[in-house]
Amino acid sequence: MNDTFNEPFPLAYGTYEDAVKLLNKPGKKVVAEFSVNWEMIKIYCSMVEDGNASYWDEAYANKQWGGIVAPSGLLLTWPMALQWHPHKEREHYFIAMKIPLPGDTLINVATDTEFHRHLYLGDRVSVVDELINVSEEKKTRLGVGHFLTTKAQFFNQREQLIAEQTNSLFRYYVVEGES
């Protein structure tokens, strides 16, 4: 197998000082390309083998929740950009991908989410997030880089708050000879 990859994952590059300048500045609100739909719910549930009747059984879900609801774990998926679009450049909606730093890759570290209400079939999610912390350079077993903490709020099309999420990731590069 050819042990190369075609191109690096597109990230913004810069210095720690560049990143600090972006602290506490919310990004633009991103509206999901497509609405909450049963097909994607079923594909996700089949991936984790989740037979929860709230996602599969219309009669049960109608009685319990007023309709089929989306699994909480799909929250981040709804606003994901399509791989290609005829009229738009592909753009990450996570602000963490747009923070200028030296690291050429990243790994998620921690995710805390508080849920306020369900998402239902047909709902259209929007999200706004901001960088709330960036660490000075750290060295871990994976490499050298910076920990980023972001905070995101997710809404439905009625501007009702669905969930709030605080996420930490490590943006880093592997030190030659130490991988």
Question: Rounded to whole angstroms, how far apart are CA atoms 40 and 28?
Answer: 26
* Site stretch for other proteins (CB under 8 A), options 14-22, 124-132, 135-143, 150-158: 135-143
Q: Does 46 bind other proteins (CB under 8 A)?
A: yes
* Site stretch for other proteins (CB under 8 A), options 19-27, 111-119, 144-152, 154-162: 111-119
Closer Cβ to other proteins, 2 or 24, answer by number = 2
State which of residues 15, 62, 111, 160 lies at the interface with other proteins (CB under 8 A).
Answer: 111
CA dist 142 → 69, 93, 103, 107, 175 (Å):
38, 25, 12, 9, 9
What character string, x for contact with other proteins (CB under 8 A) and - otherwise, covers 136-155? Answer: -----xxx------------
CA dist 22 → 79, 114, 129 (Å):
22, 25, 12
Question: Rounded to whole angstroms, how far apart are CA atoms 95 and 130?
Answer: 6
Residues 58, 68 contacting (CB under 8 angstroms) = yes
* Site stretch for other proteins (CB under 8 A), options 15-23, 66-74, 127-135, 146-154: 66-74
Tokens of 46: 């089949």
- Nearest alpha carbon to residue 137 among 86, 102, 104, 97: 102
State which of residues 58, 112, 122, 138 lies at the interface with other proteins (CB under 8 A).
Answer: 112
CB of 143 to other proteins, least distance (A): 6
State which of residues 24, 59, 83, 176 lies at the interface with other proteins (CB under 8 A).
Answer: 83
Residue listed under structure tokens 């506490």: 24
DSSP assignment of 130-145, as one string? Answer: EEEEEPPPEE-SS-EE
State which of residues 12, 74, 132, 144 lies at the interface with other proteins (CB under 8 A).
Answer: 74
State which of residues 12, 20, 31, 80 lies at the interface with other proteins (CB under 8 A).
Answer: 80
Phi-psi region of 127 (alpha: psi -120 to 50; beta: other; left: phi over 0): beta
Residues that bind other proteins in the complex, under the rule CB under 8 A: 1-5, 9, 40, 43-54, 60, 64, 71-74, 76-77, 80, 83, 105, 107-115, 118, 141-143, 174, 179
